[in-house]
Amino acid sequence: MPIQTEAYVVHEAHGPFELEQVQYQDVGEHELLVEPVAVSLCHTDVLASGGSFMMTPPMIPGHESSGIGESTGALFFFETSRRDS
């Protein structure tokens, strides 16, 4: 079942960080779904949003986060409802 949430999205290099509704596919068998508690942006996100460092837009920045594991795929072992960072 697809998952709907809000995220800041950068659509093009040097474009604005826009708050939008986004949709993910269900958790893959090797994935963990995390409900974020806090997310920070660092210089890596800013550089990447410019399109010349590690990845290029479109992207959802914020690779430094903390949250609670909600569910896992069949091949991912993690104790859900555990706070982790």
46 lies in the binding site for Zn ion (CB under 5 A): no
39 in contact with Zn ion (CB under 5 A): no
Distance CA 77, CA 45 (A): 28
Using CB under 5 A as the binding rule, the residues of this chain from 49 to 68 that contact Zn ion are: 64
**Among residues 44 and 56, whose Cβ is nearest to Zn ion?**
44
Taking the C-alpha atoms of residue 25 and residue 39, their distance in angstroms, rounded to an integer, is 21
Is residue 44 a contact point for Zn ion (CB under 5 A)?
yes
The CB-of-44 to Zn ion minimum distance in angstroms stands at: 4
Contact segment (CB under 5 A) with Zn ion among 22-30, 37-45, 49-57, 66-74 equals 37-45
Give the binding site for Zn ion (CB under 5 A).
Answer: 42, 44, 64
